[in-house]
Every structure is written in C-alpha cells, then in structure tokens.
C-alpha cells in the first residue's frame, strides 16, 4: 500500500484591510527595532551580494567581524575574481560552510568576464550565478536595485508565520511565498524587507521560534564532533600548510585531527573517515590533490616524517627535501598516502 498523498494547503491572501494593517504593523515594528548594519549603508550590489552570502546560516555578529577585513582585501568583484582561491578561503575562515566562498569567487569571475565586473539586476541572470538561489537573487534586487520580489529569508518567514499563519502547523513555502509577494511594499522594497528582517529578529528573541511551524524547519545536529566540524578543521589545516608552500598527507592530517579530537575529549578519527572527507572537499574545490611519483613500490611525498613508525617504514632521501615512505598495507597505500594542498584557482 503506497504512502498517503499529502493534500496541498490552500493559499489564503489578505484582503485590502488586512494588507494595510499588516504593512502598518511591520513598518512600525521594523523601524522601532532597526539594526544599523554596515552592509545597509550603501546600495552597492557587490556589498549586497556579499552580505547575503555571508549571512546564510551564519550569525550577524560573526559576519560583522569579518565584513570590513574582507572588503579591505577584496573591495570589488574584479578584485575577488583575480584573487587566488586559497587566499579567498583563508579570508573566509570563521564564517563556516566554505563552499559559499568558492561559489562567491566563481560568481565574481562570471561577473568579471560576462558583465564588466558588475552584478546584473535581472532575476534570470542572477539566479544563474554560482551559489545564488531565489532568496539571494530577490535580496540583491530589493536591497541593491529597489525592485520587489519574493525574498523568502528565515526572518521574513518568521514574521509571516507569527502574524498571518499563527494557528497553522507544517506550513509549506507554497503557502508562505504568495503572502511574501503580496505584502512586499512596491514603493520601497528595500526598506520593507529591512523592516521584515528586523521585526523577525525581534520575534525570535521574544517568542518561541515561529519557524518551527514551517515544513522546512529542521533542528541542526551539534557542530562539535560532527562531520561538518571535521571538514572545517581539515580545510583550515590544508590552507595553513598551503600558505607556506607545503603539502600534507592524509596520514598526517589523520594524526593531527585525531590529536585535536582526543584533546577535546572525543575519540580519534579513522583514516577512512578522513580520506572520505578529503575526497568530498576535493569535489567541492576546497582542497587540491598533489600528484606524487611512485618509485620502486615506494611513495614519495614532501611531508615531514612525523608519522608513527608502527604505521609506516620510512627513510629520508639525503640529497633533497623529499621523503620516501614505504607503506605496508595496500589499503593505506591508496588512501593514506594521498597528498593535499590549498587550491590555487
């Protein structure tokens, strides 16, 4: 017997009186709780894009700390496009979800080559850019170009759920989106969505999070000890070595990450898990793999000899900085001996 088909929730738009009342409430609450954030002081499309990407799943306070240092180093889309990816990733540290930095750089490259170093203002062109989804595209159009649209961001969703759908559960975005579109003030989309964001932020401090009634709501697993945390640690480690022109093997990364995990009171990490994460990071463009020659069954790497002698037998090549490592286990040869460095492009 198949699973029951879920019935679509009806979309109930506001009448004129309800619309006027809702807009008056949001404008009042938003203005009273306005946050003077640095990215709101200018309408520069690049700064709007940067703020929208940085604020995805990252607290405002953390974005504020990284905002000006980022602009000091990458003041324009052209500057970001020309920067080495390794440096972009290094500057991104502290914001989390490093794939956003890669997508942001790719967007800058597209704008540099196709749009004269500027962001387009047309929705189809924006949403085609790497890492730019519907909400980000709508945010750019509203905050940089003053154009209305469906900016379905988490705080906006919070306001709609609290004020207009207070008695509904498991509310899908198919129900919320038409209300976001209808209520957007066409005379000032920029100011309107700032008011929605600030009122939503207030609600999250004042009442139990209304977003828990969204069908999209999920409770994120703890970061510490998670695969996400290990990904972030490995990116930082590879970047730190790459800055010095050094590469690092899976074995060394496994040993160093294991020590960090043990110091935090958690179990050490297996080589298979580290290799799996590094493979994912390679696919995401966050690390680069260094080709290594094989000599007479030995593996040559430029990583220092700090591995446990019980794991590998090793001897240093005396006339160069290279180190020959002979692996005893065929699985370890294919997995642990891979060598990694920071991405360059």
- Give every CB contact of residue 48 below 8 A, 6+ residues apart in sequence: 39, 139, 140, 143, 144
For residue 110, what are the CA distances in angstroms to 48, 105, 269? 17, 9, 39
C-alpha to C-alpha distance for 316 and 322, rounded to whole angstroms? 7
Work out whether the CA dihedral 269, 274, 276, 281 comes out positive or negative: positive
What is the rounded distance in angstroms from the CA atom of residue 52 to the CA atom of residue 60? 11
> Exposed, middle or buried by CB within 10 Å (0-12, 13-18, 19+), for 125?
middle
- Written as six digits, the tokens of 256 are 């160093």
- What's 220's DSSP letter? P
- Helix, strand, coil % over all residues of the chain, rounded to 5: 55, 10, 40
**Residue of 12, 17, 52, 73 marked catalytic:** 52
Backbone angles phi, psi at 287, to 5 degrees: -140, 165
CA separation for the pair 253, 261 (Å, rounded): 12
Please state whether beta strands 248-249 and 339-341 pair in parallel, antiparallel, or not at all (unpaired). Answer: antiparallel
Which helix (H) or strand (E) element contains residue 294? Answer: strand 294-295
For 220, residues 6+ apart whose C-beta sits below 8 A from its C-beta are: none
Contact 213, 64 (CB under 8 A): no
Q: Which residue reads 């990458």 in tokens?
A: 74
Looking at residue 40, the DSSP 8-state letter turns out to be G
From residue 162, give the alpha-carbon distance in Å to each of 11, 71, 216.
16, 36, 15
Q: Is 52 tagged catalytic?
A: yes
Active site residues: 52
């Amino acid at each position: 017997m198949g699973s029951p088909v879920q019935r679509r929730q009806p979309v109930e738009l506001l009448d004129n009186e309800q619309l006027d009342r809702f807009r008056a409430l949001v404008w009042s609450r938003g203005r009273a709780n306005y946050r003077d954030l640095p990215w709101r002081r200018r309408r520069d499309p690049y700064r709007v894009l940067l703020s929208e990407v940085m604020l995805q799943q990252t607290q405002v306070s953390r974005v504020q700390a990284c905002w000006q240092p980022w602009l000091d180093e990458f003041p324009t889309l052209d500057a970001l496009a020309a920067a080495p990816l390794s440096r972009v990733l290094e500057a991104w540290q502290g914001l989390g979800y490093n794939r956003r930095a890669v997508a942001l750089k790719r967007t800058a490259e597209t704008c540099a080559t196709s749009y004269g170093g500027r962001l387009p203002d047309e929705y189809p062109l924006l949403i085609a850019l790497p890492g730019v989804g519907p909400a980000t595209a709508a945010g750019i159009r509203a905050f940089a170009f003053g154009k209305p649209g469906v900016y379905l961001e988490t705080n906006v969703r919070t306001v709609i759920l609290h004020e207009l759908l207070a008695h509904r559960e498991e509310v899908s975005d198919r129900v919320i989106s038409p209300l976001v579109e209808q209520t957007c003030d066409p005379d000032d989309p920029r100011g309107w969505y700032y008011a929605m964001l600030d009122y939503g932020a207030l609600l999250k401090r004042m009442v139990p999070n209304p977003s828990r009634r969204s069908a999209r709501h999920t409770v994120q697993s703890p970061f510490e000890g998670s695969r996400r945390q290990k990904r972030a640690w490995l990116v930082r480690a590879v970047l730190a070595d790459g800055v010095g022109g050094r590469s690092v093997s899976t074995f060394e990364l496994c040993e160093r990450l294991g020590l960090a995990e043990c110091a935090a009171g958690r179990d050490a990490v297996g080589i298979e898990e580290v290799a799996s994460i590094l493979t994912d990071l390679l696919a995401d463009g966050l690390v680069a793999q260094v080709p290594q020659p094989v000599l007479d069954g030995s593996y040559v790497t430029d990583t220092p000899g700090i591995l446990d002698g019980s794991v590998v037998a090793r001897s240093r090549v005396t006339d160069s900085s290279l180190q020959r490592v002979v692996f005893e286990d065929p699985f370890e040869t294919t997995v642990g001996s891979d060598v990694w460095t920071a991405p360059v492009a």
